[in-house]
Structure 1
Amino acid sequence: MRRLVILGGGTAGTMVANKLRRRLPLDDWRITVIDGQRDHLYQPGLLFVPFGGREDLLKPRRRLLRNGIQLLIGEIAAVDPERKSVRLSDGEVVCYDYLVIATGTSPRPDQTPGLLGTEWHRTIHDFYTYDGAFALREALRGFTGGRLVVHVVEQPIKCPVAPLEFTFLAEAFFRRREMRDQVELVYVTPLDGAFTKPIAARYLGGLLDDRKIAVETDFLVERVDADRKVLVSYDEREIGYDLLVTVPLNMGADFVGASGLGDELNYVPVDKGTLQSTAHPDVFAIGDANDLPTSKAGSVAHFSAEVFVKNFCQYVEGRAMTHRFDGHANCFVETGDGKGLLIDFDYDTEPLPGRYPLGGLGPLSLLRETKANHWGKLAFRWIYWNVLLPGHRLPVPTRMSMSGKHRPDEEVRS
């Protein structure tokens, strides 16, 4: 019997386990998922928690995995790719024939001097963790005015548009409370604009300007001085705050680095088309755990999983992997007031305006604020639990399509 071990039971790991359970015969394969937590967290929901969003974000992992998949709860200590074994922190060793690393990426506030200390979750907050999002809810309820700084330490981060979404939602939150004129909002980024892609950056930058949100670009933080409540950059610029909402440096799992499988941020180097490790052919890394040059987002996990499953089935049969992941990603961007915009892009094509997913028919608009995009983001919760994680196909193309998209200059000429 051949042994497939999947490290991580998050979005990518759960999807792939369920898809492969249907494709690989039970008599020939044993599929094991290993994760340190018993509950699966719906991470997109954390964005709404600080503003009073729903709290039912957790479901038991066991309920999300198909029958025939073994689930082990335990912390992963190390992988030995030569012996093809995984060692857990309690000493248990699990052997594999094929390994899939799907342990994602996590905020690491400990990597920035002054960030993790006595002020953590008091005047310094995050919303990328369960506890952090609920602590921030209380902080916003008690905030009476001053400078609120939303700060990104460094890229890549999980869901790169989420800090912008939080900023837009915060602006709308203070308007609803009739205290917007008492709050100065500042968005601080290490990038030279609001987003990594130029056209989308112009659209998003315009929205920030319209809402009178100041933007500090090219800010590479060296430390946080919590006593003086200032961010200090490597070029000695300082930005003061009364309340800091930060997105810490994101890193892959520590065992990846300890096992010699990762880069300096513990992401596994892979072939960007097949997700196969560049160092160990029987190891694959999916979702946020690899070094793909695209967004670390749920949509990437979804689209790449479709490609990976087809390739993996070819690989274990001794055939060439003929499918290539194109870096397809799309993200709903909440902009407040019950509206949102949508971006769709891949390795080679940046987000463009247009319609999605059915060309000129839409029904969703790209790079334009609409209520439909907001409702699309909210509807995704049901799709996530009932379609995506069980491994069912969604009626959207895996590969990015140019149908319905156009360049902004074409929009002007028309």
Structure 2
Amino acid sequence: MSSTPKKLLVLGAGTAGTMVVNKLRRRLPHDQWSITVVDKDDVHDYQPGYLFIPFGINAPEQIRKTKRPFIGRGVEVVMGEIERVDAEAHEVHLAGGPTLGYDQLVIATGTTPRPDQTEGTLGPQWHREVGEFYTYDGALALHDQLDTFTGGRLVVHITEMPIKCPVAPLEFTFLADDWLRRRGLRETTELVFVTPLDGAFTKPVASRALGGLLEEKGVLVEPDFMVERIDQDRKVLVSFDEREVAYDQLVTIPLNMGADFVAASGLGDELNYVPVDRHTLIATGHDDIFALGDASNIPTSKAGSVAHFSVEVFVENFLEHVAGRPMTHRFDGHANCFVESGHGKALLLDFNYDTEPLTGTFPLPKVGPMTLLGESRANHLGKLAFRHVYWNALLPGRPIGLPAAMSMAGKNPA
């Protein structure tokens, strides 16, 4: 008489969740494990593509697809709103009453912009003079708004860290500079970058390089700016220390937070991110809950590359864990980020918990073809090509030839 299969329940069918179910379905025996993934809808967006929509570079149909075709056979898909996790009962409660049990739980519900957390953001000019590109609807609205822009003060603003893809606001600024020049509007536009950081980026070497690009492009930088409210009537950002930054068109990156059910379940920090061991990704105080992708509090970028590299490590650890063995693989915080710099060029950053972005070549020493912390056409083409890799290899869980651990090969010492 066969025993009942154990239940792996994955919350979230975004980048990390989809990769997890596809990879583990191939590795876990069907008669021993059932796999279920839960999400609120059947829409999957290629989120790096949001950046390009306002400038007309990506068509919306290249960005948005349905989720189910990317989830492998043998995985049950449940659509519903997650209300809370009952960790003691090993259950997840969905809105409307359904309850799903689990033996092992993976939280991969990402992070979401929360404009409601900053006073004045959601006023009558939201998605108009106060725009954003961190959602699909916001990116489309910003495209329409920029279409009518004829000059003035264009302000790109970060509310607080951490955010999805921390280089994206810089990329938007560089692309805006390029877009304005091509339209003959750069001379009549003051481009301003407002950040809570003391420089362009969180890592010193990269911050100097990216800050140099901002200066070279004539972008004004307002650092150490902690926004208290947006005054839409006066068209100004107001900081807690009462500084003001005026705008004609504001592009704001709202506070990012994890899912509300994480807080309701007592599993999150003050921003609803799940505290985990940064190497194994197992939730603090639990032996049957993991958090992957943007849903965890690991101290590295909230980016698709981190989801990819961490899932590679997680899969091997998970197989050891459910077999009753110690987890022997360690995620090193590896992040790999293209940075669009305009004019058909981009930079590439490659770093981890312990090593900040350095100059050099990637992935091969001297050969490249990508350059690290240096602008090149190859980097730009690499970023554009990655959309195809994402849909056709990354999500289905196929290998893409990059090691999960960061390598020093090709990097120049700081």
TM-score range, shorter chain: over 0.9
Question: What pairs up with 1:94-105 in 2 under 5 angstroms?
Answer: 94-105=100-111
Matched with 1:33 is 37
Structure 1 residue 260: Cα displacement? 0.1
Matched with 1:341 is 347
Structure 1 residue 359: Cα displacement? 2.0
12, 16, 22: which one pairs with 1:12?
16
Q: Which amino acid aligns with 1:226?
A: Q
1:83-122 residue CA offsets vs partner (Å, 9 max, x unmatched): 0001111111011000000000000000001111211012
Structure 1 residue 60: Cα displacement? 1.3
1:36-60 residue CA offsets vs partner (Å, 9 max, x unmatched): 0111111011100000022111121
Structure 1 residue 388: Cα displacement? 0.4
Match status 1:321 vs 2:300: no
Structure 1 residue 360: Cα displacement? 2.3
Structure 1 residue 372: Cα displacement? 0.2
Structure 1 residue 397: Cα displacement? 1.7
Q: Is the 8 A contact 1:112 1:222 kept in 2?
A: yes
1:274-327 residue CA offsets vs partner (Å, 9 max, x unmatched): 000012110000000000000000000000000000000000000000000000
Find runs of 4+ consecutive structure 1 residues off by over 4 angstroms.
none
1:179-217 residue CA offsets vs partner (Å, 9 max, x unmatched): 111111000000000000000001001110111000000
Structure 1 residue 233: Cα displacement? 0.5
Question: What pairs up with 1:209-248 in 2 under 5 angstroms?
Answer: 209-248=215-254
SS of the residue 1:32 aligns to: strand
Quote the Cα distance in structure 2 between the aligned partners of 1:3 and 1:388: 24
Structure 1 residue 395: Cα displacement? 1.1
Matched with 1:60 is 66
Match status 1:155 vs 2:161: yes
Quote the Cα distance in structure 2 between the aligned partners of 1:5 and 1:191: 38
Matched with 2:25 is 21
Quote the Cα distance in structure 1 between the aligned partners of 2:391 and 2:30: 24
Quote the Cα distance in structure 1 between the aligned partners of 2:412 and 2:403: 18
Give the TM-score taking structure 1 as reference length. 0.98
394, 398, 405: which one pairs with 2:400?
394
281, 298, 311: which one pairs with 1:292?
298
1:356-383 residue CA offsets vs partner (Å, 9 max, x unmatched): 0112221110000000000000000000
Question: What pairs up with 1:254-273 in 2 under 5 angstroms?
Answer: 254-273=260-279
Matched with 1:352 is 358
Quote the Cα distance in structure 2 between the aligned partners of 1:281 and 1:226: 48
Q: Which amino acid aligns with 2:26?
A: R
Quote the Cα distance in structure 1 between the aligned partners of 2:30 and 2:64: 29
Matched with 2:212 is 206
RMSD: 0.7
Quote the Cα distance in structure 2 between the aligned partners of 1:216 and 1:51: 24
Matched with 1:115 is 121
Sequence identity, in percent?
A: 64
Quote the Cα distance in structure 2 between the aligned partners of 1:165 and 1:135: 18
Quote the Cα distance in structure 2 between the aligned partners of 1:43 and 1:132: 12
Q: Which amino acid aligns with 2:37?
A: V
Structure 1 residue 342: Cα displacement? 0.1
Quote the Cα distance in structure 1 between the aligned partners of 2:264 and 2:84: 7
Q: Is the 8 A contact 1:10 1:102 kept in 2?
A: yes
Aligned pairs, number: 408
Quote the Cα distance in structure 1 between the aligned partners of 2:119 and 2:69: 40
SS of the residue 1:360 aligns to: coil
Q: Which amino acid aligns with 2:114?
A: R
Quote the Cα distance in structure 2 between the aligned partners of 1:43 and 1:359: 30
Q: Is the 8 A contact 1:360 1:403 kept in 2?
A: no
Give the TM-score taking structure 2 as reference length. 0.98
Match status 1:250 vs 2:284: no
Matched with 2:282 is 276
Q: Which amino acid aligns with 1:243?
A: Q
